[in-house]
Amino acid sequence: MSCALRTDGAARRARAFTLIELLVAIAVCMAFLGGAVFTFIQIVRAGDRSQARTEALAQARHALDTMASELKQARFGPPTASPMNLFDGKTATFPGNQGNRLDDDEDGQTDEEDIDGQANSGWAVGDDKHVRLDNAAVTPVYERKQFLGTADLDDQQIDYDVKFANAEIIFRTFPNVFNPTFGIRQVRFLLGTYDGQTNVLLREVITDKGGAAESTTTSPLAFNVVSFGALFYNSNPAFSTPMGSTGWSNFWSADGILPALVELPPTVYLTVSVYSGTTPLAILPPSKPVETVTLGTVVGIEAVLADGDYALQRNTY
């Protein structure tokens, strides 16, 4: 009898956990739960980043589609318009204005280009158009080593690794002579403030049906826009003034241009960068890269492409 009791007690002690075993089990469980929580947090953050990028992409695409649709309708002014032709555009970048704070072209500089349609980052044509020639006494610095000997954006003198820009475009669409009730519309695209929010790409439309019947509407095209740039194409040497140069230019003014010339640019390049980070833009630290989605498009202005003067001079465009 006593032997049976001793046996039962030993079995109970064998089935019990010691304090050390219990602590080890808790530590293992905590490590497993910590890993699971960390993984869950990473998945949630990845989902937030993906959603923010998708929303930014949708806003940039909507803005470009809307602006392209409007620009295609830009028209030469009738003799009754004052000024007869209105198509003004400008893109400004400032020396202290940063871009995305990343060295996109791996040349050792950050945000060194202006959106002006010219290669002004210091790169010169070398054997493969990638050699930095600022100081011949030092070892040359190579841009994007993996692309040595291969044509890329800088070889075509297209702006890359750019500063953020603030463009403004003003133009008119005029009424159909067969439908006088459709009034002259003046359209303007610019960055501004809307309903208390900054960094909004705006579309302003002034409609004038004659007399005092004029109305103005302002609507947002995209929010959290950190850069809006525009370039205007001109390769007619006889038309280098007032634009100042042929090729792509960040400035265009058709005010006062004689009707015998093509007053509007045949093509306009638009680029929009929308902030795609999860940290609110207003509290983003100055040293942190600015996550963006950037889209661009080239728009042909139909009134210019169909104009007789343009057709006659097309070999110079």
Q: Could you please report the per-residue DSSP string of 24-57? A: HHHHHHHHHHHHHHHHHHHHHHHHHHHHHHHHHH
Q: Are 65 and 295 in contact (CB under 8 A)?
A: no
Q: Are 234 and 265 in contact (CB under 8 A)?
A: yes
Task: Tell me the pLDDT tens digit for each residue of 213-269.
Answer: 677 899 999 999 999 999 988 766 555 444 455 678 888 887 655 444 567 888 999
Task: Tell me the pLDDT tens digit for each residue of 2-53.
Answer: 444 455 555 555 566 677 877 787 888 888 787 777 776 777 777 778 899 9
Q: Are 247 and 235 in contact (CB under 8 A)?
A: yes
Distance CA 218, CA 208 (A): 15
Predicted local confidence at residue 15, as pLDDT: 61
Structure tokens given for 107: 């040349």
Between 183 and 109, residue with greater pLDDT: 109
pLDDT above 70: residue 63: yes
pLDDT above 80: residue 288: yes
pLDDT above 70: residue 136: no
Predicted local confidence at residue 254, as pLDDT: 79
Predicted local confidence at residue 1, as pLDDT: 47
Mean pLDDT of the residues in the chain: 77
Predicted local confidence at residue 238, as pLDDT: 56
Q: C-alpha angle with apex 233: 255 to 152, nearest 5 degrees?
A: 155
Q: Is the peptide bond before 242 cis (omega within 30 degrees of 0)?
A: yes
Predicted TM-score (pTM) of this structure: 0.75
Distance CA 300, CA 307 (A): 12
Between 149 and 206, residue with greater pLDDT: 206
Predicted local confidence at residue 214, as pLDDT: 72
Q: Are 242 and 110 in contact (CB under 8 A)?
A: no
pLDDT classification of 143: cutoffs 50, 70, 90: low
Instruction: Please name the amino acid found at residue 153.
Output: L
Distance CA 78, CA 84 (A): 6
Average pLDDT over every residue of 266-286: 91
Predicted local confidence at residue 241, as pLDDT: 47
Between 142 and 206, residue with greater pLDDT: 206
Neighbouring residues of 272: CB distance < 8 A, sequence distance ≥ 6? 60, 63, 64, 201, 222, 225, 227, 228, 229, 294, 295, 296
pLDDT above 70: residue 149: no
Nearest to 56 by CA among 210, 272, 284: 272
Cβ count within 10 A of residue 262: 26
Predicted local confidence at residue 44, as pLDDT: 73
Task: Tell me the pLDDT tens digit for each residue of 167-182.
Answer: 999 998 877 655 555 6
In this structure, the strands spanning 247-249 and 267-275 are unpaired
Q: Are 228 and 272 in contact (CB under 8 A)?
A: yes
Secondary structure percentages of the chain, helix, strand, coil, to 5: 30, 25, 45
Distance CA 132, CA 123 (A): 5
Q: Are 172 and 77 in contact (CB under 8 A)?
A: yes
Q: Are 54 and 291 in contact (CB under 8 A)?
A: no
Q: Are 266 and 233 in contact (CB under 8 A)?
A: yes
Q: Are 276 and 51 in contact (CB under 8 A)?
A: no
Q: Are 101 and 288 in contact (CB under 8 A)?
A: yes
Point out the least confidently predicted range of 119-128, 141-150, 245-254, 304-313.
119-128
Distance CA 235, CA 247 (A): 5
Q: Are 175 and 154 in contact (CB under 8 A)?
A: no
Predicted local confidence at residue 120, as pLDDT: 63
Task: Tell me the pLDDT tens digit for each residue of 74-129.
Answer: 988 777 777 777 899 999 987 677 899 988 877 677 888 888 877 665 555 444 55
Average pLDDT over every residue of 200-211: 83
List b or e across 72-90, with b for residues whose CB sees 16 or more CB atoms inside 10 angstroms.
Answer: eebbbbeeeeeebbbbbbb
Between 189 and 256, residue with greater pLDDT: 189
